[in-house]
Amino acid sequence: MSYFKSYLFYFNAFFLTAVFVLVGLDSNAHAEKKHIIKFATLAPEGSSWMKLLRRLSGKIKKATQGNVSFKFYTGGVSGDEKDVIRKIRIGQLHGAGFTGVGLGEILPEVRVLDLPFLFQSDQEIEHVYQTMNDYFVERFDKKGYILLGWVPVGWIHFFSQKPIQTVADLRGSKPWLWEGDRLVAQAYEGMDVQPIPLSITDVLLSLQTGMVDTVYSSTQGALVFQWFTKVKHITRLRMGYATGGVLISKKKFEKLPLAYQEALKKISSESLTELATVIQKDNLKAEKVLENNGIKWVPQPDPAAIKIFQQAGATARQNLSGKLFSTELLNKVLRLLDEVR
């Protein structure tokens, strides 16, 4: 009996020790598991976008003891934004920086922020984005994405070979339309303009060949994509304000330990807020660069011509209301604008 008790004691001790070791190994394995977030962007290396995103990646890597890092696919090597979304859905990519076009492929109603000739000032934009942020965070979550932050592209202008000052000028040009961009398509339709739909990655070649001679972009975007090398004019008239944001697949996000999730959200929010400010400054700097490269500003149209452009924007809002976004959502945004105005 004494021998049996002794045997039982050592067996239990060995068994418990083995359990504790295995639990410890499992815990260490979990703690040391590496998470790589594959991230795509149209922004090229060396741009403000990429400089700040790499700093963001470094901060997250440090905050997670090296267990969460980013692998970047820059300069559109992953394709147009539609291609990127498809790759995220199949798990080939995990996140990306999107313009409003890409955001709208996932959540169509977010395009209410991109409506042509809607915003008139930076104050209006700030008020609408701050007020509507929680709403869109929740809506993206339901679509399977975490909105890490907004990074608006900025004010959009026409860039062209010939001056664009009136709707008639636009009709006489060969304007580009980002393929699938229903907002600009509706605005062009309201002005009786016949655009040429192309992927954003095909625009530079199309400018070079003369297939298109008019594009729309932020000043920084025209520099980054080298479109400014194939045009001569930029309009003072602002076509609209283009939104943008950073999304990560909810499926990938939820694989991270809770502490890492919180670190990713906090650091991303801080860094992307900083990036939005940097991009705003870069757009102003880009104006000077464009001028130094011989790009001429087209003066602001007269009030009658501006009214025709604005009517086209109003027509687009009316035609898209109840389709791309609800009438209630549009009315809420318009009320927020009235609060500022």
Confidence bin at 16 (pLDDT 50/70/90): very low
**Which residues lie across from 73 on neighbouring strands?**
40
The model carries a pTM of: 0.84
Widest CA span of the chain, in angstroms?
Answer: 107
Rounded-to-integer distance, Cα 82 and Cα 84, Å: 5
What are the pLDDT digits (tens) for 111-157? 999 999 999 999 999 999 999 999 999 999 999 999 999 998 999 99
Residue 13, pLDDT above cutoff 90: no
Domain ranges, ordered by start, for the chain? 33-340
| Residue among 110, 82, 109, 107 nearest 96 (CA) | 82
Element (H, E) at 36: strand 35-40
Residue with tokens 């664009």: 164
Residue 274, pLDDT above cutoff 80: yes
Cβ atoms of residues 39 and 72 within 8 Å: yes
What are the pLDDT digits (tens) for 53-65? 999 999 999 999 9
Domain over 33-340 is classified CATH 3.40.190.170: yes
Rounded-to-integer distance, Cα 8 and Cα 262, Å: 47
